[in-house]
Amino acid sequence: MSTQTKNTQVAEIKKDISAQVLSKIEGFQQTGELSLPKDYSPENALKSAYLILSETENKQKQKALDHCTKESIANALLKMVVWGLSPLKKQCDFIMYGNKLDCSIEYTGNIALAKRYGGLKEIKAHAIFEGDEFEFENDVTTGCKKVTLHKQTLQSLGSGKVIGAYAIMHMVDGSIDTEIMNIKQIEAAWNQGAMNGNSPAHKNFPDQMAKKTVINRACKLLIRGSNDSVLYTENEGERIDTTSADVAYEVSQKANKKEIGFDDVEDAEVVHEEVASEPQKEVVEQDGPGF
């Protein structure tokens, strides 16, 4: 069999993955193991994901659909649908590491999940710059934080030195809470990301990235505290070291030239399949878990 023919067959197998994932999702729904939002279309999400994945590539210009195992592609797509997120809305992103693919929740996805399951109505974040006047207090009765003063000037806004950030959460029940992080906490979260806080976005727009980080932290606490906290596994949000994974994969490929077969996706172990037992986390801008 020629290499071209083999590649064509592999491409056809992987192209059918989205259909197989959809079939599995429909099976979960029919047995009552999975409940998706009424305004969420898994068919549309899978179609848009396939279009995005057809253009997704790693640093070596290897395409995700050609390079990643079909099992990891299926798992990534399954995670996306179970979470009820849309890649077109940048609620989630696909990350290549080695020959594996993973689905990672973006901060907008965390907001969507917090609104859907955590009782969040609205959330607004602000960066705190050097030179700002900032004060807050803790309500000893409710345990909630409250910003009592945040006064900025054009000079402080232009200082470019972020010293913290906070997010104010308006809840459906009428309550208000605030998540506050200082720069050390924010940088610690950035160091958990794939870029260690050294991406162009972190360097050029630290205020925007700080706001994303505090929003992620606030929303994840709401989601994990909800009845659907099973949406997050214990290791969700852990850093994926894409560089080490790529190196390990290259070493394994050079050490073992044996041809790898393709088993049916239905027989593959599906990561996060246990999520479906009850109804229902940026390579460039990923902030890490925010804790």
Q: Residue 78 to residues 31, 61, 63, 204, 260: CA-CA distances in angstroms? A: 17, 25, 20, 34, 23
Tell me what the mean pLDDT of segment 260-286 comes to.
38
Distance, CA of 48 to chain centre: 17
What pLDDT is recorded for position 193? 72
Report the residue count for the chain. 291
In tens, the pLDDT along 213-258 reads: 999 999 999 998 876 544 544 444 444 444 444 444 444 444 444 4
Strands 92-97 and 100-105 come out as antiparallel
Domain count, the chain: 2
What pLDDT is recorded for position 250? 47
What pLDDT is recorded for position 24? 86
Q: Is there a domain that residue 127 lies in?
A: yes
* Residue 162 bridge partners (DSSP): 129
Residues 42 and 91 in one domain: yes
Residues 97 and 170 in one domain: no
Q: pLDDT at residue 12 above 80?
A: no
Q: Is there a domain that residue 282 lies in?
A: no
> End of a domain among 167, 191, 224?
224
Structural domain that includes position 181: 111-224
What pLDDT is recorded for position 287? 54
Q: Is there a domain that residue 199 lies in?
A: yes
Tell me what the mean pLDDT of segment 22-43 comes to.
86
Query: With bands split at pLDDT 50, 70 and 90, how would you rate the model's confidence at 159?
Result: confident
In tens, the pLDDT along 72-129 reads: 999 999 999 999 999 999 999 999 988 999 999 999 999 999 999 899 999 999 999 9
What pLDDT is recorded for position 257? 44
Worst-scoring range by mean pLDDT, 37-41, 123-127, 144-148?
Answer: 37-41
Most trustworthy range by pLDDT among 32-41, 205-214, 268-277: 205-214
**pTM higher than 0.85 for the full model?**
no
Residues 98 and 197 in one domain: no
Q: Which helix (H) or strand (E) holds 53?
A: helix 42-53
Q: Is there a domain that residue 286 lies in?
A: no
Sign of CA dihedral 278, 31, 235, 170: negative
Residues 163 and 177 in one domain: yes
Residues 172 and 33 in one domain: no
Q: Is there a domain that residue 86 lies in?
A: yes
Q: Is there a domain that residue 152 lies in?
A: yes
Residues 190 and 119 in one domain: yes
